[in-house]
């Protein structure tokens, strides 16, 4: 990055690791925006309800595993 660039002035106070973290975060935001634009991302309401369903099914699966372990012991 040239030392006179705007990006250099904005990010010069960050360590190299922090710059990489910032770049990754900005890249993730860009990817998310593009995926949303292309219709590849569900709405947040759909994602959050699907996430709750996954948690519930995982808890049920875990509970059945622990009860099975108790029966075999």
| pLDDT score of 60 more than 60 | no
Considering only residues 54 and 10, tell me which one the structure prediction assigns the higher pLDDT. 10
Query: What does the radius of gyration of the chain's CA atoms come to, in whole angstroms?
Result: 22
- With the C-alpha atoms ordered 48, 49, 55, 58, is the resulting torsion angle positive or negative? negative
Q: What is the pLDDT of residue 49?
A: 65
Q: What is the pLDDT of residue 17?
A: 95
Q: What is the pLDDT of residue 11?
A: 82
Q: What is the pLDDT of residue 42?
A: 74
Whether the Cβ atoms of residue 62 and residue 54 lie closer than 8 Å to each other: no
């Amino acid at each position: 990055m040239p030392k006179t660039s705007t990006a250099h002035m904005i990010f010069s106070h960050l360590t190299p690791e922090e710059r990489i973290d910032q770049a990754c975060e900005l890249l993730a935001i860009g990817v998310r925006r593009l995926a949303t634009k292309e219709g590849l991302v569900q709405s947040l309401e759909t994602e959050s309800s699907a996430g709750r369903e996954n948690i519930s099914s995982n808890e049920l699966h875990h509970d059945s595993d622990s009860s099975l372990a108790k029966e075999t012991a």
